[in-house]
Amino acid sequence: MALSLGASKAGKAPALQGIAHRLEAQRAQVCPAGAEPPVHPATIPPPDLRDRHHLDAITLHIATCADLKEALPSVLRELLDMLNGCLDSGAARFATGELCVVHRALGQATHEVISPIGLALPVATRERLQEVVRDIGRDPGARQQVSDMDGAPGGVLIALTDDTDRGETGRGETSDDWLWLGEPTAAVIESGLANVVINTLSRGLALHQQQQARHAEDTKSAVAQALKNERRHLAAELHDTLAQELSYLQMQSARLTRAARHAPQDVQALAEDVHTQARRAFRQTRELINGAHATWGDAPLACVLDNLIEEFETRSGMVFELDNRIQSLHLPDAQALQVMFIVREAMTNSVRHAQATHLRLQLLYQSSGHPPAARVLLTVEDNGCGFDPADIAPAHFGLGIMQDRAHQIGADFAITQPRQGGTRMTLSWERRDT
């Protein structure tokens, strides 16, 4: 017998009546002539299933458990015993493994089959149920259909929770749960008993999903705060120790360079190299300190750029403009940090060296390739005097650092001179926002 699907529990009742008719029709095709029709149980649920307090206790147990794989087997066995106890003597009983939950936990990519305690599905049936649910996940519309699936185990498969977001990698951002009832389900469905089981499981799993999501968010926030505190502690240590020593070394190496002006050529070159390396080390240390204090949390990249503009407006009389054509773009922290450093360096160069009066930042999506692949394009352009990158002296290593940072995040970096004058810095990377 083929597998039938019930509609999702969220927002509407499962399509139980339609499934019941289909199961009855399939049984009629194999029922011998003159055979007695199946005996249906009473339509009024027995006391066990009307015990609201007991069912609420089951729901609460599911919602508050730490691990569904440990809690659900005993819950399912209890519900299975309740169902069998509520059926009339002539009704079909649930046999071994004829009730289970196909569950995918928060953040997991695959489903697993959870059976009642002491019972187990055959391996082939478990694997086929996992395949069916995985195929349904690729077609969200299938969750609201009643259809047959060739090769599927006989019975009814009903969505208990919604799979609202699998994310770009296919890993679920919410949990996803299905209830499978074995072949002798028509009598149970027609009696309305299945509704009680579905409601109990669905409410409990939905609440458990909310609890897990809230716990994951709290954990994420706690880890982020701990990392922020650790970065600030490290920044303070760098500032009070290494940065001070490097500042002194930079000043002394500058004195050494001036003192070596009349020394042999190789001594002058050596003194200049020591001074250059001291400046580089001091600058990189200062950037590490600034980066440790940088915070953006869940703010999109446009907010980071806004903050940079606000920072430079207090230090310069230039006019700054942000042309943002992306509503929301969230980057991983490591990538956002490198982008921020590159943009800050470009803006610093414009303020210090370009003699510019206007600076424009532009953020947009661009397409390239076949088929087009979305890329992010970030442009920093001023109306200053411009320069030729080939004429930059080796001692001015800011441009090299910007190129290194772009390489670290897999971005394309370029410095060009527009026809109208000034300098344009472009940074582009493949769209992989979070």
State residue 28's pLDDT score.
55
Tell me whether residue 2 is exposed, middle or buried, using C-beta atoms within 10 angstroms of its C-beta: 0 to 12, 13 to 18, 19 or more.
Answer: middle
End-to-end CA distance of the chain: 44
* Position 291 confidence tier, pLDDT thresholds 50, 70, 90: low
Summarised one tens digit per residue, pLDDT across range 110-119 is: 888 998 888 8
Length of the chain: 434
State residue 191's pLDDT score.
64
* Position 220 confidence tier, pLDDT thresholds 50, 70, 90: confident
Q: 78-87, 171-180, 220-229, 329-338: which has the minimum mean pLDDT?
A: 171-180
Task: Name the pTM for this structure.
Answer: 0.50
| Measured CA distances, 34 to 18, 23, 37, 292, 325 (Å) | 25, 19, 9, 82, 73
Q: Take residue 187 and report the two structure tokens written for it.
A: 């009598």
CA distance 125 to 123: 5
- Residue indicated by tokens 């004829």: 98
pLDDT at 212 exceeding the cut of 70? yes
Torsion angles phi and psi, residue 113, rounded to 5: -95, 125
CA distance 296 to 69: 37
State residue 140's pLDDT score.
52
State residue 22's pLDDT score.
45
pLDDT at 164 exceeding the cut of 60? no
Q: Take residue 429 and report the two structure tokens written for it.
A: 């990377």
State residue 380's pLDDT score.
95
pLDDT at 107 exceeding the cut of 80? no
Domain boundaries, the chain: 3-215, 296-434
Specify the higher pLDDT residue, 93 or 226: 226
* Position 349 confidence tier, pLDDT thresholds 50, 70, 90: confident
CA distance 412 to 397: 18
Does the domain at 296-434 match CATH 3.30.930.10? Answer given as no
The closest alpha carbon to 158, from 123, 188, 116, 121, belongs to 188
Torsion angles phi and psi, residue 362, rounded to 5: -130, 135
94 Cβ contact partners less than 8 Å away, ≥ 6 residues apart: 80, 83, 84, 182, 184, 188
CA distance 410 to 421: 29
Cis peptide, bond prior to residue 264, ω within 30 of zero = no
**DSSP per-residue letters across 175-240:** -EEEEEE-STTHHHHHHTHHHHHHHHHHHHHHHHHHHHHHHHHHHHHHHHHHHHHHHHHHHHHHHH
Tell me whether residue 229 is exposed, middle or buried, using C-beta atoms within 10 angstroms of its C-beta: 0 to 12, 13 to 18, 19 or more.
Answer: exposed
- Mean pLDDT on 28-34: 52
